[in-house]
Amino acid sequence: QKEVEQNSGPLSVPEGAIASLNCTYSDRGSQSFFWYRQYSGKSPELIMFIYSNGDKEDGRFTAQLNKASQYVSLLIRDSQPSDSATYLCAVSGGTSYDKVIFGPGTSLSVIP
Amino acid sequence: ETGVTQTPRHLVMGMTNKKSLKCEQHLGHNAMYWYKQSAKKPLELMFVYNFKEQTENNSVPSRFSPECPNSSHLFLHLHTLQPEDSALYLCASSQPLGAGAQTQYFGPGTRLLVL
């Protein structure tokens, strides 16, 4: 079983819609969860991190964490073409403690 | 200069060449990382340094040799590489390990092509 799984996509949404990106992880003891955005040919940049169950909002972005279901998601409201990128989910804590495990990423395309 | 910088940004080398990648962080961090990102594949952690000490070598071939002279600088020495080593090499830094999971900040990467 892969440690961090994401749908590879591509996920296509129309401009202005809500984009929903999902991530599941295998280590039940994981404590910290990160979402990175990576534009083509560029390095990953941190969008959000979340530690507690529930929702965390930052502008148009909302991270949702459900530790019981081992599931973390990222919602992007009012999607813009500039949001088109690959979104990487990263998880740490649990048996890996400090080690951060990245998922394969989901490619998002926002259609004007 | 702020953040994490990497040089060179692009590198083309033959299989018999020796080259080095350089990473420098200006964030006051004490942990530094090398990752490899190949096309259509997830990020692969290669090496981790915490306070200049290597804490992880993720089964990386010996043709990749890291060096961390201080907490701000990290090198990746390359020799006798193979064409399959062509990839984007990313450096990242974070607060020290041992204090829980850390947000990693990435440099722009070095795009490496091995001929």
Contacts of A104 in chain B (CB under 8 A): 41-42
Residue A13 near residue A108, CB atoms below 8 Å: yes
Q: What is the pLDDT of residue A55?
A: 94
Contacts of A105 in chain B (CB under 8 A): 42
Q: List average pLDDT for each run of 10 residues in chain B, which is 115 residues long.
A: 89 92 94 90 87 82 95 95 95 79 87 94
| CB neighbourhood size of A41 (10 A) | 9
Residue B87 near residue A41, CB atoms below 8 Å: no
Strands (E), A7-60: 11-14, 19-25, 30-38, 45-50, 54-58
Residue B85 DSSP SS3: helix
B103 — contact with chain A (CB < 8 Å)?
yes
Note whether A88 contacts B100, CB cutoff 8 Å: no
B51 — contact with chain A (CB < 8 Å)?
no
Phi, psi of B84 (to 5 degrees): -70, -5
Note whether A104 contacts B108, CB cutoff 8 Å: no
Which pairs with CB-CB distance under 8 Å and at least 24 residues apart come from B67-73?
B68/B32, B71/B29, B71/B30, B71/B32, B72/B24, B72/B25, B72/B26, B73/B22, B73/B23, B73/B24
Q: What is the pLDDT of residue B114?
A: 94
B5 — contact with chain A (CB < 8 Å)?
no
Q: Identity (one letter) of the amino acid at A97?
A: Y
Nearest Cα of chain A lies from the Cα of B15 at a distance, in angstroms, of 24
**A21 burial class (0-12, 13-18, 19+ CB within 10 angstroms)?**
buried
B16 — contact with chain A (CB < 8 Å)?
no
CB pairs under 8 A between A and B: 47
Q: What is the pLDDT of residue A99?
A: 73
Q: Report residue B68 as tokens.
A: 């961390």
Report d(CA A64, CA A55) in Å as an integer.
4
* Residues in chain A where the model's pLDDT stays below 70: 1-2, 94-98
Q: A interface mutation test: which of B6, B33, B104, B113 has the most A CBs within 10 A?
A: B104
Note whether A43 contacts B41, CB cutoff 8 Å: no
